[in-house]
Every structure is written in structure tokens, then in C-alpha cells.
Amino acid sequence: MIVNNSKTLLLVQGLRASINGTEILKGIDLTVKSGEIHAIMGLNGSGKSTLAKVLAGHAAYEITAGTVRFEDKDLLELAPEDRARAGLFLAFQYPIEIPGVANTQFLRLAYNTIQAQRGKEELDPLEFDDFVREKMKLLDMNPDFLDRSVNEGFSGGEKKRNEILQMALLEPKLSILDEMDSGLDIDALKTVANGVNQIANKDNATILVTHYQRLLDYVVPDFVHIMQSGSIVLTGGKELALELETRGYDWVTANKRSIAGAIA
């Protein structure tokens, strides 16, 4: 929701980033205030996941220009773990499998690390087990996933739910959900969307990266941004996604200026 006078959580200005000498992000500007839900859409390869990973601090990308502030912090100065501890969360498009690390052990370590950072109580394995099982119920997740290795052998949809479970546990200020709807069946989509809606409140914010209007039927965005080859070319309200659905990206390319003018 758009809240009057709410504070700015994320302020991205002129952000450029390259990988192996190839520039992928070519000047991104984005402002996210608390309470808001943003959607980022765009063709395959337009740089959406790159933006997400750059914000989370992936070391493979070189930042060549621009600034990113997260609340009062210079985000680009922080190590990935410090970004997470400051309240940034990225649900990965392709969550990685970590054989040998039990999901429950990993979830508890992550939870306790964040709790300690916030000066809150850490949970021992038994307490955590009760706590995490409650959260899993909300997401309609089978508790068997606790005993398995992190994401190992999880189906595509199960991996996505495990990401949202982590979001629910860590209660971030800003969540970036990279294609959380891909690979989810329609029931799972509703469950997960419902989870996102429950977590969203006036003090936090969410960025949804998606290709489909369907997700936005369940999690309604305040802003929709369209990315093209490394920059945000168009920003509008939720109707922009609907328009895009019927007209396609060619329409965006052909009419960037006039649409922007019409929206402004």
C-alpha cells in the first residue's frame, strides 16, 4: 500500500553493473518506500535477476556507477550477510541445493543470526522446531522438509516455498522475490501469495519480479516497472501489467515515450 509520508527503504540511483566485463545494468533508478509493493517485469535477459543479486551483494558483479541506500546505510558498502542482517531478503529465482546441510539446521542458524542482530531471543533446537512448524503450516509445507538437506531434491515449487518460508522466518524489511511464481501450481501460487500478503505490512516492502499478471491478481502491486536491456524504461500502476499482458513488449518498445507521458 502507498502510505503518505512513509520512509524510503531503498533508493537506487544510476546503478550500473557488469559481469566479466559485460555491462548488464545500465543505469537503474528505483525508489521503494515502506508499505509498498513493487513489481518488476521484463523480457528474459533484461537484467531483473542481476538487479536482485547485485542488491543482495553477489560478488561476481562489479558495480561501475551509481549508489544504493538502504534506510540510512550505503548498501553497496555492506557484505552480503550484513545486508541480510540489515533486513534485505532475496528469494532466489533458482534456489541452490546444499547437500549435507540439514534444512532445519540452516533455518535455525539463519533465524538466530538475525534474531541476535535485532537483540532478540535465539531459539534452541526444540523451541525452533515448534516455531518453524507453525510457519510451515501457513505455507502448507510438509514438515518432512526440515530433515532433508537444504533444497536437495526439492521440486521447483518446493524450493520456492522453502524460500518463502525463510522470508517468513526472517521477517525482512525489504523482500525481493525473484519469480517466486514460476514452477508453482495454481493452488501453491495462492498459498504462497497469501503468505506474502500476510507478511506485508506498512513497515516493510516487497519487490516482485515476475513475468505474469496472474501473480499480481493475488499480490496487488502499487507500482509496476518494466525493464529493458538493463534499465527501467517504464513505471506505472497495476494497470500497466494488465496492459502489458494484452499488448506485449513490442508495444512498450514502440511507445515508451508516449506511454510514459500518458502515465505522468
Partner 1 sequence: MSETVATDYLDCLLKSWSIKSNEPLSWLNQLRARAIDHVSTQRLPTKRDEEWRFTDISALTRLSFQSAQPHTSLRAQDIEHLYLKEAKNSLVFVDGYYSPQLSTHIDPTVLQIGNLSTFLSTHASILESHFGQYARFDNNVFAALNTAFLHDCALIIAPKNTVIAEPVHLLFIATQSEVTSYPRCLIIGESGSNVTFVEDYVSLQEAAYVTNSVTEISLSANAHARHIRIQRESAQAYHLANCAVSLARGSNYQSVSISLGAQISRYNLNVQLIDEAAECAIDGLALISSNQLADTHTSIDHIKPNGISRQQHKCIVNDKAHAVFNGKIIVRPHAQQTNSSQSSRNLLLSKTAQIDTKPQLEIFADDVKCAHGATVGQLDQEEIFYLQSRGLSEATARSLLTYAFGAEIIDRISVSSLRQQLEQTVLNQTRGNKL
Ligand X SMILES: Nc1ncnc2c1ncn2[C@@H]1O[C@H](COP(=O)(O)OP(=O)(O)OP(=O)(O)O)[C@@H](O)[C@H]1O
Spatial separation of the C-alpha atoms in residues 51 and 46, rounded to whole Å? 10
Residue 5 binding ligand X, by CB under 6 A: no
Residue 103 binding Mg ion, by CB under 5 A: no
Residue 46 binding Mg ion, by CB under 5 A: no
CA neighbor of 32 nearest in space, from 53, 57, 56, 13: 13
CA dihedral of 236, 176, 115, 95, whole degrees rounded to 10: 170
Residue 156 binding ligand X, by CB under 6 A: no
Task: Give me the helices (H) in the chain, please.
Answer: 48-56, 80-86, 103-117, 125-138, 156-170, 186-199, 213-218, 238-247, 249-263
Stretch of 10-18, 45-53, 58-66, 120-128 contacting Mg ion, by CB under 5 A: 45-53
Residue among 10 and 189 whose Cβ is closer to partner 1: 10
Go through 87-96 and write b for each residue having 16 or more CB atoms within 10 A of its CB, e for each that does not: bbbbbbbebe
Within 35-54, the residues that bind ligand X by CB under 6 A are 42, 44-50
Residue 20 binding ligand X, by CB under 6 A: yes
Residue 231 binding ligand X, by CB under 6 A: no
The contact pattern for ligand X, residues 245-264, with x = CB under 6 A and - = no contact, is: --------------------
CB contact at 8 A, 236 and 38: no
Write down the least CB distance from residue 88 to partner 1, Å: 9
Within 187-206, the residues that bind ligand X by CB under 6 A are none
Residue closest to Mg ion (Cβ): 49
Say if strands 73-74 and 62-70 run parallel, antiparallel, or are unpaired. antiparallel
Stretch of 31-39, 56-64, 93-101, 221-229 contacting Mg ion, by CB under 5 A: 93-101
Given partner 1, ligand X, Mg ion, none, residue 58, with its beta carbon under 5 to 8 Å by kind, binds partner 1
